[in-house]
Amino acid sequence: MKNIAIYGAGGFGREVACLLNIINKKEPTWNLVGFFDDGKEKGYFNEYGEILGGIAEVNAWTVPLSIVIAIGSPHVVEKIVNSIDNANIDYPNIIAPDTIFLDKSHFFIGQGNLVCPGCLFSTNVQIGNFNCFNGFITVGHDTRIENFNSIMPAVRVSGGVRIGKRNFLGVGSAILQQIKVGCDTVIGANSVVIRSTKDGNTYVGNPACIVKY
């Protein structure tokens, strides 16, 4: 079994610890050594392991270690990845055993992605790096998803969609076919995107429209 740590010791981090246990029950793969979290006291224990420190401790780690990032904010995930400077660290894809691939030979994925239970990927799907698929998500055929996107539970991505970087797709939202979601976009819960979005905006409703806060 390979040593792994979870970056992020909040509720989602604890869920990812449960996912690692599910993976291990099917095939022993991961030895969870603990959590890294810049906002929690080093040495504190939750029900799944110890807080090992923050970014300084990651960069001082002296032996090989896999890290999975369990944080919902795309911008925070990107900041953490850019702050880690340690050749001992690698970023595996953590994929729930019940994930459905309609054609795995035409499914392409980078590194550091997290796929929670209940997800389905159609044919000719390409995924970049450090994306979070937070459960019961469907991704349609010929879709391209770049890096650092957080896709919340029950999102529906139709065929031929293009999703750029650092987007947050809220619970139950839907992206219709051939739509382009660029970068730094927030899609509100249960919103339906029927037109390509403009970068850096928040969209809410059905049909989804820009809102300003």
Q: Name the residue ranges covered by the structural domains of the chain.
A: 2-92, 93-207
Decide which of 3.30.70.20, 3.30.450.20, 2.160.10.10, 3.30.70.260 is the CATH code for 93-207: 2.160.10.10
Residue among 210, 212, 185 nearest 74 (CA)? 185
CA separation for the pair 80, 74 (Å, rounded): 10
C-alpha angle 150-155-159 in degrees, rounded to nearest 5 = 100
CA separation for the pair 9, 16 (Å, rounded): 10
pLDDT at 188 over 80: yes
Tens digits of residue pLDDT in 6-35 = 999 999 999 999 999 999 999 999 999 999
Tens digits of residue pLDDT in 49-77 = 999 999 999 999 999 999 999 999 999 99
Please report, in range form, the residues annotated as the binding site.
72
Please report, in range form, the residues annotated as the binding site for substrate.
72
Residue 10 is classified by DSSP as S
Indicate the average pLDDT of the chain: 98
This prediction's pTM: 0.96
Domain 2-92 listed as CATH 3.20.20.70: no
For the annotated catalytic residues, the residue numbers are 141
pLDDT at 213 over 90: no
Q: What average pLDDT does range 115-123 have in this prediction?
A: 99
